[in-house]
Amino acid sequence: MSAPAQKEKLSFALSEEYQAEFCRAVIEKILATAAVNASGSSKPALETIPAARRAEFLRFVETGETSQEFLDFVASNEAARAAIDAVFKETAAAMERLGTLLKSSQPGKSLAGFTKLPPHRIGYPPAIGDEMPDGTIYAGVSPDTGKAMYATPKDAPATFTFNEAAKYAKKLKAHGHKDFRVPTLDELNVLYQNRNEGKLKGTFNETGSYPAGWYRSSSQTNYGFAWDQRFSDGCQHACSKDYGSSLRCVR
């Protein structure tokens, strides 16, 4: 491939529409070549993962989404941890090399949309509290879906009844997304547990006051009541759906 053609191909790959596909191709290449020391031997990263776990491993390194069962497997399996670490390091190195190439071949071109891809898009999940390039904050794994959960960087600008909160989240278009939702009670508790992590710290109302110190969940107890959680101490309480509470949307 000629140099001009190579530059054109790289520019095409760096467009927003093709970033995910490009990163996936990089990850697949790295999985086949990254050497991992396991029991004194060196193997490609993917070969160190049991065959029954490989599909979920691939999903994990591509998206950061996984199940608690797989996280428990990784925690107890040294080879899996080494494989994930190798993929992260090799992918980061590949991104750095590509960035250097583009800077030298295309002076003045902004690489912000590429070099600042969220970590889970280039082979490793972000840390809780990390701000994503789209402005949302990684809040942890949803206990309900087993997938990565992202929160808006601040509360919705009011207190909401149960129905008002659902309508607000459904209509919310922010940070390039329109799939926000009111967190379930378990998801709300994840936000509470992680409230002091990274960019989440200082963004919640922890005064304990009513109603702003209580946060709305989508979990119902019966027709007239739903669960809220107070962020000063984590207290959970079923209250009338007609009462107002603070709202932090997630996706």
pLDDT, one tens digit for every residue, the chain (251 residues): 444 444 444 444 444 445 555 566 666 666 665 555 445 555 666 677 788 887 887 777 666 677 777 777 777 777 777 777 777 776 666 666 666 655 555 444 444 444 344 444 444 457 889 888 788 999 998 999 888 899 999 999 999 999 999 999 999 999 989 999 999 999 999 999 999 999 999 999 999 999 999 999 999 998 899 999 999 999 999 999 999 999 999 99
Domain closes at, from 92, 121, 150: 121
Specify if 213 maps to a domain.
yes
Assessment of whether the complete model's pTM goes beyond 0.85: no
85 and 142 fall within a common domain: no
Q: What angle do CA 227, 229, 232 make, to 5 degrees?
A: 165
In a domain, 132, yes or no: no
List helix spans (H) across the chain.
3-14, 19-33, 54-63, 68-76, 78-105, 112-115, 162-171, 185-193
The parent domain of residue 103 ranges over: 3-121
**Is 130 inside any structural domain?**
no
Distance CA 150, CA 175 (A): 11
Cβ within 8 Å of residue 101, ≥6 positions away: 10
Same domain, 142 and 76: no
The DSSP secondary structure of 43-90, one letter per residue, reads EEGGGGS-GGGHHHHHHHHHHS---HHHHHHHHH-HHHHHHHHHHHHH
| Distance in angstroms (rounded) separating the CA atoms of residues 171 and 247 | 14
Contacts of 241 (CB under 8 A, 6+ apart): 161, 162, 163, 220, 224, 225, 226
Note the residue count of the chain: 251
| Cross-strand pairs, 42 | 37
Q: From 89, 121, 153, give the residue that closes a domain.
A: 121
Query: Is 30 contained in some domain?
Result: yes
